[in-house]
Structure 1
Amino acid sequence: MSAHRLPQALNNLYQLSLWQETLYSAPKVHGILFGVSCVPEIPMPETWLGYVFNQHSQIPSEAALEQLTKVLMDGLSQVLAAIHQSDYTFCEAWSWDDSEYAMFADFLQGVLLVHQAQEKQWQKAWDTMPETAQVAHSKTLQQCLSMMTTFADVPLAISKKSPAQQPAFISALPQLFLSLSNTIERYVGLSGQVASYLPNQFEQFTQR
């Protein structure tokens, strides 16, 4: 089984036992950094650093938190650099295999966690677009969120289908999975399009 390809900063971080039980899984934190990178107007660190902590975890010392903040900011820079280079090679480790659900599911849960938490910022940026652009991009956003939600928790997605619908849905999942990496790219592209309407913003993503 291939390992989820992490930004180097996270790879180094998760070799330290201090953080292995304090933070969410490495793929989920990668997804959180990815989600932060895709907010049309990237939020300040103090608004999202708390997203990475596992529930009920004990917060380390202030010195350790300062070091963690630096590492996460380095990780965010690495994620942004990969996005600028259209580098989505981390998806290559994902496989449609029961034993590997957690690999992509955790990453997608991280992305969706940020999208939900930063929904007001997304909406604020969305409202700057002309109505025609909103209509054009709305379908793309809905499709991206639907796909990511499905594969963030496959058993839950199956359970939401009626008994009559479940067999066909389950049969379709492997084929749908093949377009998951494209969904990630579309989500990034959409974020860049929305960000381009914000006033006084430098372009964050390579135009497609």
Structure 2
Amino acid sequence: MPKFESSAHDALSELCDSPALSIALQPYPFIQGSVFAVCAAPEIPMPEVWLPWIIKTKKQLANEQQADQLTDLLMKLLKHQLKDMSDEKIHLPKGVNFAGDISTDSQLSLWCQGMLMGHSQLEAVWQNAWDKMKVTDPKKITQLQKDLSHCLYMFTTFADIPLALKQAEARGNDQLLNILPKIFLSFEQSLKTYVGLSGRLVDFLPNQFETFKE
């Protein structure tokens, strides 16, 4: 039985941890977060746009065969994530949780860092959808944007907990560390809200979802 969601997930995790590619690739949870952001975008970017995001340096890729293997595994992850989203199975991957580790290299922090990186890369896509929605349905924009801000605040908090704690203390809140486990209980709902927001916006952009379904 695969350690992660599928044999492709296992294979990619092994590649990320291998001596040959650990320097070249982003950490495995970071990649998963990036793929989540790609799949949840109102308009899914083509592979040539997002695949380079997970590579630190192409110089470390040994050969074309290795690059092809990596691309194949990443596309399988993309399709797996898209299927989960279409089946409304929206949750963190196996092994990614909050168990009190506040370091920036925890599985959860890395996942959030990858997710936020993907979102930032796709901000123009989100903004385009917002702009088109404003023309057709301006009354709903304010609440939807508040929902998105809440989701991004959640992801940002867990992407860099030490920074979040420092910022909270500067605002006079010295209890954030104690309530992080309680805040995390609503993390999954934030994921669902984020994906749901994209679903609301997708009607205002050309939908590429079918392009990536098997």
| TM-score of the superposed pair, with normalisation by structure 2 | 0.83
Equivalent pair of 1:27/1:106 in contact (CA under 8 Å): yes
Instruction: Describe the shift of the 1:202–1:37 C-alpha distance in structure 2 as closer, same or farther (beyond 3 A).
Output: closer
2:8–2:77 Cα contact (<8 Å) kept: yes
Aligned to 1:145: 152
Letter in 1 for 2:32: H
CA RMSD of superposed structures (Å): 2.5
Q: Give the Å deviation of 1:20.
A: 3.1
Cα shift at 1:181: 1.2
**Once the two structures are aligned, what percentage of the paired residues are identical?**
32
**Structure 2 vs 1, CA of residues 87 and 7 (structure 1 numbering), >3 Å: closer, same or farther?**
farther
Structure 2 residue ranges without an equivalent (≥5)? none
Question: Deviations along 1:77-115, whole A, 9 cap, x unmatched?
Answer: 011111112224545741332278711111111110010
**2-side partners of 1:7 and 1:30: how far apart?**
13
Structure 1 unaligned spans of 5+ = none
The alpha-carbon distance between structure 1 residues 61 and 142, as it changes in their structure 2 partners (threshold 3 A), is same
User: Does 2:207 align with 1:201?
Assistant: yes
Letter of the 1:114 counterpart: G
Shift of 1:168: 2.3
State how many pairs are aligned: 200
Question: Measured at CA, do residues 106 and 55 of structure 1 come closer, stay the same or move farther in structure 2, by a change above 3 Å?
Answer: farther
User: Partner of 2:39 in structure 1?
Assistant: 37
Quickly say closer, same or farther: Cα 1:90–1:144, change in 2 above 3 A.
closer
**Residues 20, 195 of structure 1: CA spacing in aligned structure 2 closer, same or farther, 3 A cutoff?**
same
Name the residue aligned to 2:167.
160
**Secondary structure, aligned partner of 2:24:** coil
**What whole-Å deviation, never above 9, does each CA across 1:106-152 have from its counterpart, x for those lacking one?**
11111100100111111111111121222231110000001110011
Show structure 1 runs of 4+ deviating over 4 A. Answer: 4-7
Q: TM-score, normalised by structure 1?
A: 0.85
Cα pair distance change 1:182/1:91, threshold 3 Å: farther
